[in-house]
A and B are shown apart, each in its own frame.
Chain A
């Protein structure tokens, strides 16, 4: 059997609404994002060492970005697209890190 197959057999590929049965609805990632944002607000308003607060905020930000990319945008399902965005973001973050280190070094050494 080849191209003369029964037309009734012609059908679209299954298109799951959500990438994983572990996350049956968008409500769970939404709640996770709200929780992470609340955590950010707590870290930002709590008195503490500046470096620790910045590190905490950075971790929470990365977790939020990952949550949106994986659970809401379905990056696990569209690997090509996810790779494109990942390469763009990694290049940009790397470039930013180099530029900021350079600026900090120049500021320190006059």
Chain B
């Protein structure tokens, strides 16, 4: 029999020229449990680690702004009191809104039914939107007082810090609105909730540094 007519040998299936990986899971070889049963792959772990990696890089962005804020504030001869234009009560209300939204997001990711999940998600979106609206009112007050982005160093830092955070809140709201519209698994929601809790986390030092620290 010539080579041309030889029966093709069964080749192992490949993926893009590379051999397919064995079906393994984080728990053990070939997806086996110690007791013998097989485990399905865990997409949530991959998604969660990816989200954590993204959040770590994003934390660096916030850290850069906080470092700039700290260095400028320590080096300044005097740092103005936030009082007249950045009132504490609205800022505390914004903080409370974000804290409640973290709670509703956690409840959404653990909700037993789709209906409950959508209700908690909707509340989260509403609270995030309220936070953005309050930030908008704050910006409008500052602008009305003639304090623009380039008015002074403290005001510029305020706009940079809070604006960067507000963009994150906006991105989170867009993500959640997409989730409201489609069918989303609980695991996907859990990964998404990591981002939302991080947005809450990032606001905490902003609240402390900008609104609470006593002026020098």
8 Å CB contact of A80 from B49, B64, B75: B49
Q: Which residues of A contact B (CB under 8 A)?
A: 1-3, 5-6, 9-13, 15, 17-18, 26-27, 30, 33-34, 37, 40-41, 43-45, 50, 53-54, 57-58, 60-61, 64-65, 68-69, 72-73, 78, 80-82, 84-85, 87-89, 92-93, 95-96, 99-100, 103-104, 106-107
The bracket for how many chain B residues form the interface is 35 or more
6 residue pairs from A and B, CB less than 8 Å apart: A3-B23, A6-B37, A26-B102, A53-B214, A81-B52, A88-B60
State whether B38 touches A3 (Cβ < 8 A). Answer: yes
Q: Which residues of A contact B106 (CB under 8 A)?
A: 26, 30, 72
CA distance A106 to B72 in the complex (A): 12
A68 in contact with B52 given A11-B39, A40-B212, A88-B59 (CB within 8 Å): no
8 Å CB contact of B110 from A12, A17, A69, A87: A17
Q: Which residues of A contact B56 (CB under 8 A)?
A: 81, 84-85, 87-88
Q: Which residues of B contact A100 (CB under 8 A)?
A: 70-71, 74
State whether A45 touches B39 (Cβ < 8 A). Answer: no
State whether A68 touches B200 (Cβ < 8 A). Answer: yes
How many pairs of residues, A versus B, come closer than 8 Å at their CB atoms? 156
Q: Which residues of B contact A73 (CB under 8 A)?
A: 194, 197-198, 201
Q: Which residues of B contact A40 (CB under 8 A)?
A: 207-208, 212
A44 in contact with B74 given A12-B42, A96-B67 (CB within 8 Å): no
State whether B63 touches A89 (Cβ < 8 A). Answer: yes
Q: Which residues of B contact A (CB under 8 A)?
A: 23, 27, 30-32, 36-40, 42, 44-45, 48-49, 51-53, 55-57, 59-60, 63-64, 66-67, 70-71, 74-75, 88, 92, 95-96, 99-100, 102-103, 106-107, 109-110, 187, 194, 197-198, 200-201, 204-205, 207-208, 211-214
